[in-house]
Amino acid sequence: MLLEEIYSPAFAISKNGKVTVFLPELVGEPETPEISYLFENSLFFKRAAGTGCPITGVPEDVVQQLRSSDKMLVIEIDLDKVSELNEGRLTDPSKVFKRYYEAMIDRDSFAENSVDAI
Is residue 33 within 8 Å of residue 101, measured between CB atoms? yes
Is 0.75 surpassed by the pTM of this model? yes
In a domain, 29, yes or no: yes
* Number of domains comprising the chain: 1
Range of the domain at 14: 6-110
In a domain, 34, yes or no: yes
In a domain, 115, yes or no: no
**Residue pLDDT, tens place only, 68-102:** 999 999 999 999 999 999 999 999 999 999 999 99
Other C-beta atoms lying within 10 Å of the C-beta of residue 74: 22
In a domain, 1, yes or no: no
**Residue pLDDT, tens place only, 13-63:** 999 999 999 999 988 899 999 999 998 899 999 998 888 899 999 999 999
In a domain, 118, yes or no: no
Residue 51's alpha-carbon distances to 31, 69, 75, 113, in angstroms, are 10, 23, 18, 24
Task: Give the confidence band of 113 by pLDDT, cuts at 50, 70, 90.
Answer: very low
